[in-house]
A and B are shown apart, each in its own frame.
Chain A
Amino acid sequence: MSEVSVTDEATAAAVPLVVLKSVNKHFGALHVLQDIDLTIARGEVVVVIGPSGSGKSTLCRTVNRLETTDSGSITIDGRPLPQEGKELARLRADVGMVFQSFNLFAHKTVLENVTLGQIKVRRTDRRKAEEKARALLDRVGVGAQADKYPAQLSGGQQQRVAIARALAMDPKVMLFDEPTSALDPEMINEVLEVMQQLARDGMTMVVVTHEMGFARSAANRVVFMADGRIVEEARPDQFFSNPRSDRAKDFLSKILHH
Chain B
Amino acid sequence: MNVLSDHFAEFREGFLGTVELTGLSGLLALVLGILMAAFRVSPVPALRIFGTTWVTLLRNTPLVLLFLAVTLGLPALGLKGWDSFWLAVLTLGCYTSAFICEAVRSGINSVPVGQAEAARSIGMTFNQTLSQVVLPQATRTAVPPIGSLMIALTKNTAIASGFNVTQLGSVQKSLNADTGYNIYVIFLWIAVCYIIITLAISGLFRLLENRLAVAR
Given A103-B114, A103-B117, are A169 and B216 also a contact pair (CB < 8 Å)? no
Query: Are A66 and B120 interface neighbours, CB within 8 A?
Result: yes
A residues contacting the other copy or chain, number (CB 8 A)? 31
Of B43, B118, B123, B216, the residue contacting A99 (CB under 8 A) is: B118
Given A84-B43, A151-B216, are A66 and B132 also a contact pair (CB < 8 Å)? no
Query: Are B122 and A116 interface neighbours, CB within 8 A?
Result: yes
Interface check B109, CB cutoff 8 A: no
Given A105-B133, A116-B132, are A66 and B115 also a contact pair (CB < 8 Å)? no
Interface check A106, CB cutoff 8 A: yes
A241–chain B nearest beta-carbon distance, Å: 35
Which B residues are in CB contact (< 8 Å) with A105? 115, 118-119, 133
Within A93-125, the residues touching B (CB, 8 Å) are 93-97, 99, 101, 103-107, 116-117, 120-121
Query: Are A106 and B120 interface neighbours, CB within 8 A?
Result: no
Interface check A92, CB cutoff 8 A: yes
A-B contact count (CB 8 A): 71
Interface check B128, CB cutoff 8 A: yes
Which A residues are in CB contact (< 8 Å) with B119? 105
Given A107-B137, A107-B216, are A66 and B117 also a contact pair (CB < 8 Å)? yes
The CA-CA distance from A241 to B123 in the complex, in Å, is 40
Query: Could you tell me which A residues sit within 8 Å of B by CB distance?
Result: 64, 66, 84, 86, 89-97, 99, 101, 103-107, 116-117, 120-121, 149, 151, 162, 165-166, 168-169
Chain A to chain B contacts (Cβ below 8 Å), 17 pairs = A66-B117, A66-B120, A91-B123, A95-B121, A96-B121, A97-B122, A103-B112, A103-B115, A105-B133, A106-B115, A107-B133, A107-B216, A116-B122, A116-B132, A165-B118, A166-B121, A168-B122
